[in-house]
Amino acid sequence: MPDLIERSLETALTNCCRVGEISIRRIDGGGFIVSHCDDRGRDDLQRFQNPEEAAEIARYDDAGNYRPLKTVPNLCHGWRLELVDLTKLRRALDYFYPGRLAMFAAWKENRLTTTPLRKTLTRQSGMYRVASKISDEQINDLVGNFCRSNGGCLRTILWKRDESAAVPSTKLPSDKFDASHGQALSPRSATPATTAPVIPLLCQEACSLLVAECRKVVKMTNDE
Ligand code: SF4
């Protein structure tokens, strides 16, 4: 029996055919064809049929560089994954975008909790403890650059800067904080593909890479 995550995915697929940089196409018999959205229409793609192969596809970008954060818009091109059912589609999407379908299902059920950035920073220990000393102005600049959809990260930010509920950066468009508005943008696309509905990749709290960047900013300020 499909669980909550599969059910929310199935419902979303009634009017969505995209998540992040991935295009999803239904085929006869209940299966799905998944590919990079830039590759739709290409007939020279390398074919895969096992959802576990998504992990390898997602590991490196086109230039062969490791992708530490899977929601950075640098998914490699040239592949096509043929999946026989919804369960296998869900498994593959979990490799492409770990944990994102679970966040989406929780958000749909109004059960998704978020953590303000300052709370995430004050929880840090060891060498990352200093990250909490970052100023609001530095957060504004850093998040505006590091999390931007165009070349930064395709997640939609749901966390606030602090308990005052201030947006983390005034340098990002309001869509970046709107869960009903996915950040479907490909580096090969000149403009965001926002006309078609997408399953949003939700960011419920700052990732470890952003925390590391906060630390870097503080260290640089202290060294000046
Ligand atoms: S904090 Fe969220 S939006 Fe920003 S880079 Fe990390 S995962 Fe992406």
Residues 118-141 pLDDT 10s: 999 999 999 999 999 999 999 999
- Following DSSP, what letter does each residue of 158-223 receive, concatenated? ---SSTT---S-TTS-GGGG-TTS-----TT-SS---SS--B-EEE-S--HHHHHHHHHHHHHHHH
pTM recorded for the entire structure: 0.93
Measured between alpha carbons, how far is 42 from 78 in angstroms, rounded to an integer? 9
Tokens of 206: 């700052």
Closest ligand 1 atom, residue 147 Cα: 4
Residue 184 CB contacts under 8 Å (≥ 6 apart), including other chains: 18, 20, 21, 37, 154, 192, 193, 194, 196, 198
φ, ψ of residue 113 in degrees (nearest 5): -100, 145
Measured between alpha carbons, how far is 89 from 163 in angstroms, rounded to an integer? 38
Topology at the third CATH level for domain 4-108: Gyrase A; domain 2 (3.30.1360)
pLDDT at position 170, please? 98
List all residues whose CB is within 6 A of at least one atom of ligand 1.
71, 146-147, 153, 155, 157, 203, 206-207, 209-210
The one-letter amino acid code at 70 reads K
Residue nearest to atom 7 of ligand 1 (CA): 207
Which residues of the chain are in CATH 3.30.1360.190 domains? 4-108
pLDDT at position 190, please? 42
pLDDT at position 7, please? 95
Residue nearest to atom 5 of ligand 1 (CA): 147
C-alpha 157 to ligand 1 mean position (Å) = 7
C-alpha 103 to ligand 1 mean position (Å) = 14
Measured between alpha carbons, how far is 163 from 205 in angstroms, rounded to an integer? 13
Q: Tens digits of per-residue pLDDT, 55-114?
A: 999 999 999 999 999 999 999 999 999 999 999 999 999 999 999 999 999 999 999 999
Closest ligand 1 atom, residue 203 Cα: 2
Strand duo 79-83 + 46-48: pairing: parallel
Residue nearest to atom 1 of ligand 1 (CA): 206
Confidence band (pLDDT; 50, 70, 90) for 222? Answer: confident
Q: Are 184 and 154 in contact (CB under 8 A)?
A: yes
Across the chain, what does the average pLDDT equal? 93
C-alpha 92 to ligand 1 mean position (Å) = 21
Residue nearest to atom 8 of ligand 1 (CA): 153
Confidence band (pLDDT; 50, 70, 90) for 193? Answer: very low
pLDDT at position 40, please? 85
Q: Are 172 and 143 in contact (CB under 8 A)?
A: yes
Residue nearest to atom 6 of ligand 1 (CA): 207
